[in-house]
Structure 1
Amino acid sequence: MNVVAYLRVSTGKQESSGLGLEAQREYIHRAAEQEGWNIVGEYTDAVSGSVPPLERTQCGVALRSGIPLVVAKLDRLSRDVEHIAGVMKRYKFMVATMPQADAFQLHIYAALAEQERAFIRARIKDALGALQHRADSGDAASQEKIARRSEALAKGSKAPTAARMMEAKAQRVDQHREAIRPHLKACLYDGASTLQGVADCLNKKGQATSRGGEWSPTTVRRLMLALELSFGTVQRAMRE
């Protein structure tokens, strides 16, 4: 049976480090080998589990593919009973850590997971309340812990913004490269046969690098590698 793998990590450190993805992938591939599943695709989201599955970019694509979906653990799909029940009514999915579980069992596991999440939240809330009370009473150690936590939360809130900025920058670079492609090809067709020759040609055409500077052999080499163009490829195309 053909299946697609779905992996999810939360935003923040787990997303940037990649921690968790390899473990999920290993669970899924091990189950596929044991159950005879053929993995034909893989989809990954970096998003909180509180976001409904169909509202996640890659999860939505995976579910709508019409191919059964496999997750490493049930909480990678969702920790919300309502979310699980909604997906269960419309799509087929399996869990690598319990591949033989039926719909009723999965619903029970989802309910237990949601209850445990509620317990964890309550314990954290009570612990933070007690910590704040000790800090307000003048306990230096508690005040230091609260300060460290506030600093960590502030850093974490900046991480998604930094990631979006990096993604936007990468998109701008890709767009610039595509805009330069016809000029690069023209230089190659005009006989530029060295990196320096191409750099001189692009500079004469008034084409700047993505940073607004002049072309050099190094930046030309990076451009040609990114666009998968080479002197040999152009020469063969000219002969044909």
Structure 2
Amino acid sequence: MTTNTIDVVSYCRVSSQGQGESGLGLEAQREYIDRAAKQNGWNIVGEFVDVVSGKLAIEDRPEGKRALAACKEMGALLVVAKLDRLSRSVHHIARLMEETEFKVATMPTANSFQLHLFAALAQQEREFIANRTKEALAALQKRADEGDSQSAEKIARRTEALEKGRTEANRAKASEAIQQRVNSWQESVRDPIDLCIRKGGRTLQQVADCLNGKGITTSRGGNWSSIQVSRVMKNLGLEFPSKETSL
């Protein structure tokens, strides 16, 4: 067990006011940081929360700027739940490394080189997500063609809107907006699902029960089923740990 206590400043970021008010995403970030603090002997001396896009560098965010100032004033380290809470830009993260020492709760032992590598991989993942967006739209059409009523209803609504005079450019924007909302919602439940797995969920139903117990609903506001968990985990690339890993 770690005997030396390290003072840390907790920094969380959500992208929308809705996430900030509901706690969706914010609660999971706090839980990641609290768990890492207990496991690594960190003493949380302050917390700052921004409701802002990750496109802004942390020093350009209201609470981010205050968090950095608090670290300097108290001689503390900055701690975030995940690397993308700092920034989605490799350039921003590399610049921050030169000015401030920070830790990431989900990989507390990672050094600067490893964090820079993870940031580069995350940027590549975003490019993969863009490709998956196109694939998801094609899959929606395929399910509709195969008789799935919900998919067919979505396609019908889109078709009806298009018939009201949307231009080709607006059609593309509408399709992209729909999928962005889907992607955004799925990303909002990534951390809660991950936490349910980390807490011992080893079956789809156990994860569903965990999410329902936390009061986290599906995109339609209902309870989770194992099938819905399976679909979202697959889309997010989340997996259960192997038996070797869990030993």
The two structures have a TM-score, normalised by structure 1, of: 0.54
* Superposed CA RMSD: 3.3
How far residue 40 of structure 1 moved from its aligned partner, in angstroms, is 0.5
Pick closer, same or farther for the CA change 1:129–1:44 going to 2, 3 Å.
Answer: same
- Counterpart of 2:82, as a letter, is K
Tell me how far apart the structure 2 counterparts of residues 85 and 20 of structure 1 sit (CA, whole Å): 25
1:173-231 per-residue CA deviation (whole Å, 9 max, x = no partner) reads xxxxxxxxxxxxxxxxxxxxxxxxxxxxxxxxxxxxxxxxxxxxxxxxxxxxxxxxxxx
Pair 1:86–1:143, CA change in 2 (3 A): farther
In structure 1, the partner of 2:63 is 58
Q: Secondary structure at the match of 2:34?
A: helix
- 1:87 is paired with a residue whose SS is helix
- Match in the other structure for 1:180: none
Instruction: Tell me what 1:144 maps to.
Output: 157
Instruction: Specify the code of the residue in structure 2 equivalent to 1:45.
Output: D
Aligned partner (choices 16, 19, 22) of residue 14 of structure 1: 19
- For 1:1-240, list aligned pairs within 5 A: 1-65=6-70, 66=72, 67-125=76-134, 127-128=136-137, 141=153, 142-145=155-158
The residue identity in structure 2 corresponding to 1:23 is A
* Secondary structure at 2:9 match in 1: strand
Structure with higher Rg: it is 1
| Aligned length in residues | 151
Q: How many angstroms does 1:28 deviate by?
A: 0.7
Q: How many Å apart are 1:73 and its aligned residue?
A: 0.9
CA distance in 2, matches of 1:92, 1:102: 10
Structure 2, unmatched stretches of 5+, are: 1-5, 142-150, 162-172, 179-247
Which amino acid counterpart does residue 116 of structure 1 have in structure 2? Answer: E
SS at match of 2:88: coil
Question: Which consecutive unaligned segments of at least 5 residues does structure 1 have?
Answer: 133-138, 155-240
Paired residue secondary structure (1:4): strand
Alpha-carbon shift at residue 39 of structure 1 (Å): 0.6
In structure 2, the residue matched to 1:211 is none
Partners of 1:47 and 1:55 in 2: how far apart? 10
Query: Could you tell me how far 1:102 is from its partner in structure 2?
Result: 0.2
Report percent identity of matched pairs.
55
